[in-house]
């Protein structure tokens, strides 16, 4: 059941992190308008099952007035509202309070703050710590941190011992720029064993990500429709995963089934399911442009 809508308020980001599964950078295109936000909230209300609206990116604070107004509008509809941020704005407590005052006043429910070396290489200003401290001071109800570390092999975890193989830790997902930057030296598995999608709910959905181009993504770069062409509530109502040209094979046999069904060129081994799925989808992007979009998420624009 779909309970969350995540609005990619903008693809633009002031960072260009190696682990970014959206290939975001300072020149990335695509930012919501206020009219689009209102439209999405109207559609969310019609769906009936939506509980949460998230604003993320990119970096949503880069479009601060739009973010504040978006939070207010979502709260007016009765939704719980979350924000995901890299806290670049929290350079000191006084300034951070200036940034967060209207956010807190607008009724935001939750903040998720990135706190890892991908964002803060050679930066010792403790921006996430300042952001969290000020958010607590302003009594934002739920505050958490997102920490993604460089992938590394863990031979000693309980899971590794039970499975008899190396387990990667760090939390990175191998989509987007992470495939270009982070896979080297990691253990791999035979492609034919990657026969499920372990991370996304392709049938029940649970959440979808929306961008300003209209894409309704159930995974980064994997769309089930365009809300600029068809009302969002109709896209969700009519979604049949078994008939989707990408989700159907994934449900049948994971990323390996994409290889088999579409007779795709491939390597013998990949780091994990996401790694194989992302590269196979990228190779299919010209065959299914409406479903594998936007191209910039694949590093193609």
155-179: per-residue pLDDT in tens?
Answer: 555 544 444 444 555 577 888 989 9
pTM above 0.85, yes or no: yes
Residue 153 above 70 pLDDT?
no
Q: What percent of the chain has pLDDT over 90?
A: 77
Task: Please indicate whether residue 264 or residue 166 has the higher confidence score (pLDDT).
Answer: 264
DSSP class of 33: -
Whether 74 has a pLDDT exceeding 50, the answer reads: yes
pLDDT at 119 over 90: no
Cα distance between residue 246 and residue 162, in whole Å: 32
- Retrieve residue 17's tokens: 């992190």
Under CATH, domain 1-148 is a member of which superfamily?
Aldolase class I (3.20.20.70)
Q: Quote the pLDDT of residue 145.
A: 86
Could you tell me which residue, 163 or 45, shows the higher pLDDT?
45
Q: How far is CA 211 from CA 43, 46, 265, 282, in A?
A: 14, 19, 30, 19
Domain ranges for the chain: 1-148
Overall average pLDDT of the 255-272 stretch: 96
The pLDDT assigned to 126 comes to 86
Average pLDDT over residues 106-113: 95
- The neighbouring-strand residues paired with 77 are none
């Amino acid at each position: 059941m779909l309970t969350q809508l995540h609005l990619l308020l903008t693809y633009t980001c002031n960072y260009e992190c190696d682990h970014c599964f959206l290939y975001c950078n300072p020149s990335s295109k695509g930012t919501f308008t206020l009219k689009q936000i209102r439209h999405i909230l109207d559609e969310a209300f019609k769906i009936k099952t939506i509980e949460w609206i998230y604003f993320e990116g990119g970096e949503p604070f880069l479009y601060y007035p739009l973010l504040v107004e978006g939070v207010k509008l979502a709260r007016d509809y009765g939704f719980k509202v979350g924000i995901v941020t890299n806290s670049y704005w929290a350079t000191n407590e006084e300034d951070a309070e200036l940034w967060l005052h209207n956010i807190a006043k607008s009724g935001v429910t939750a903040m998720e703050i990135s706190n890892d070396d991908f964002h803060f290489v050679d930066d010792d200003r403790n921006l996430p710590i300042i952001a969290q401290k000020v958010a607590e001071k302003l009594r934002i109800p739920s505050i958490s941190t997102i920490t993604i570390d460089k992938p590394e092999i863990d031979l000693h975890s309980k899971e590794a011992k039970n499975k008899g193989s190396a387990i990667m830790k760090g939390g990175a997902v191998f989509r987007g720029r992470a495939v270009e930057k982070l896979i080297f030296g990691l253990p791999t598995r035979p492609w034919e064993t990657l026969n499920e999608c372990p991370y996304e709910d392709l049938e029940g959905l649970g959440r979808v990500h929306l961008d300003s181009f209209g894409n309704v993504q159930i995974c980064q770069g994997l769309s089930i429709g365009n809300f600029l062409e068809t009302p969002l509530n109709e896209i969700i109502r009519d979604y049949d995963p078994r008939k989707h040209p990408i989700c159907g094979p994934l449900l049948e046999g994971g990323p390996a089934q994409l290889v088999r069904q579409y007779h795709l060129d491939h390597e013998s081994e990949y780091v994990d399911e996401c790694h194989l799925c992302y590269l196979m989808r990228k190779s299919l992007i010209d065959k299914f442009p409406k479903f594998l979009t936007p191209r910039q998420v694949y590093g193609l624009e």
